[in-house]
Amino acid sequence: MTRKKRKGGNKRRKSPKIQTLILFPAFLVCALLLSLYVLFSKSTIGLPEPIYEEVYSSANYLNEAIKNVDYAIYESLYQSGIKERNIIFLDVQPRHENGHFWDFTRLLIRCPDILSAQNLERCISYDLIRSGARIRLRWEKTPEGKISCHVFAEGFYTHRLDLEFHSQSPKIEDTRPKLAVIIDDFGYDPGIVSLFAQLDLPLSFSVLPSAPFTGQIVRQANKEKCDLILHLPMEPKNHPRVNPGPGALFLSMEERKIRQVLDQDLREVWGAIGVNNHMGSSFTENPAKMAIVLRELKKRRLFFVDSRTSADSVGFKLAKKMGLPTASRSVFLDNDLSNKAIKMQFKRLLSIARNTGAAIGIGHPRKETLKILEEYWPKIKTEFQVVPVSELVG
């Protein structure tokens, strides 16, 4: 009898030997990959990210301080209007000391003239003090006629800035008396600022802190590159009946509070190169309290103009004694807003300038004052050197 063929009987089963030959290499490959995975995963679990550059191995506080210094310098250059082509990196050099690594940076900054260089010097000093790092600065004049700043962050020499300016040929000495005009109390009317700025005169704008339009007016004053001054409110004799406004200094404040309020006021009027007092007939008579303010201004390389709201103010004499650049007001121009009164005050200002060689007038952002300035200025410019108030502090 013939046997029936099994279904699929035509196919042959692979022999065990052939199956073994096929599976064994695959098994070896898988085993090898698994071993490598286990080996490397065990050796890398919990390891920190590698330090790619030696400089990043230094203490975090030094890196943070250097970063803050860089930001402060760049902010000063921006606010001072220094163009990028006039900022030259002379060297970025790795340094190490006591286990710390950092990049030492040397910059050359080309300024249009010596006044621009001096203004940038003040801005850099102020911004570096505000940077939050522990900073020490050493300014010096080099034999080549540059102004150099050596920056020490957290005790390490991290930056050198060379401020270069064009030396000008000697000019014939101008013997005309000098005249400066400060416009006080900016902060409440942004429109009037434009009118004074359009006069194209070297006026000095004194801005109150924390007023409704302080920020807007500060930006405009910096844009116009005029002398920007903090109009610092101080306690008057009739306080509290007479209110000096926000950001004021009072005799009841301890030194720490005075410094704190002053710092905040300067932050409000950023870019200020000097300070004059708003009111302050009581505060400016107190030598101890004024010394706190003047020491802080000297530290920040700012000048002080005594508005002389009191005949007994010690501000000017004390600042001079401390070696702080200072001056005092000669005439208030517009306490009386009548046309006749303002003209009389202008005549007094011009007379003082003729007799003493220089005078400072203080006016206010009022249309009456603006009108007299427009009327008098052509005549004044021929007989006097009209200068920013920063040229009269010494």
Percentage with pLDDT > 70 across the chain: 83
| Residues 291-344 pLDDT 10s | 999 999 999 999 999 999 999 999 999 999 999 999 999 999 999 999 999 999
**Domain limits for position 103:** 54-165
Q: What is the mean pLDDT of the chain?
A: 84
| Least trusted range by pLDDT, from 36-50, 56-70, 198-212 | 36-50
The domain boundary residue, chosen from 143, 165, 187:
165
Which residue, among 391, 22, 32, 386, has the nearest Cα to 177 in the 3D structure?
Answer: 386
Q: Report which of residues 153 and 33 the model is more confident about.
A: 153
**131 in the same domain as 96:** yes
**229 in the same domain as 140:** no
CA-CA distance, 46 to 209, in Å (whole number)?
A: 53
Q: Residue 229: in which H helix or E strand, if any?
A: strand 227-234
**377 in the same domain as 314:** yes
pLDDT(352) > 90: yes
Average pLDDT in the 148-165 region?
A: 92
Band (177; pLDDT cuts 50, 70, 90): very high
Band (39; pLDDT cuts 50, 70, 90): very low
Contact indicator for 174, 383 with CB cutoff of 8 Å: no
The domain boundary residue, chosen from 105, 139, 165:
165
Structural domains in the chain (count): 2
pLDDT(247) > 70: yes
pLDDT reported for residue 27 = 52
Band (170; pLDDT cuts 50, 70, 90): low
In a domain, 249, yes or no: yes
pLDDT(277) > 70: yes
Average pLDDT in the 241-268 region?
A: 97
5, with CB counted inside 10 A (0-12, 13-18, 19+), is: exposed
- Rounded to the nearest 5 degrees, what angle is found at the Cα of 288, between the Cα atoms of 285 and 292? 110
**241 in the same domain as 150:** no
Average pLDDT in the 161-186 region?
A: 84
**77 in the same domain as 186:** no
Band (201; pLDDT cuts 50, 70, 90): confident
Cα within 13 Å of Cα(33), Cβ side: 6
pLDDT(347) > 60: yes
CB under 8 Å to 97, separation ≥6 — which residues? 156
CA-CA distance, 302 to 274, in Å (whole number)?
A: 5
Tokens of 374: 């427009």
Amino acid at 148: S
In the three-class reduction of DSSP (H, G, I as helix; E, B as strand; rest coil), residue 172 is classed as coil
N-terminal to C-terminal alpha carbon distance within the chain: 134
CA-CA distance, 33 to 158, in Å (whole number)?
A: 50
CA 367 centroid distance within chain: 32
**324 in the same domain as 203:** yes
| Least trusted range by pLDDT, from 25-29, 174-178, 204-208, 276-280 | 25-29
Band (274; pLDDT cuts 50, 70, 90): very high
Q: Report which of residues 323 and 42 the model is more confident about.
A: 323
Beta bridge partners of 332: 362
In a domain, 32, yes or no: no
**322 in the same domain as 187:** yes
| Least trusted range by pLDDT, from 216-225, 232-241, 313-322 | 216-225
pLDDT reported for residue 256 = 97
CA-CA distance, 154 to 97, in Å (whole number)?
A: 12
**120 in the same domain as 254:** no
CA distances from 50 to 60, 100, 113, 330 (A): 16, 18, 48, 66
pLDDT reported for residue 242 = 94
pLDDT(46) > 50: no
Average pLDDT in the 16-32 region?
A: 51
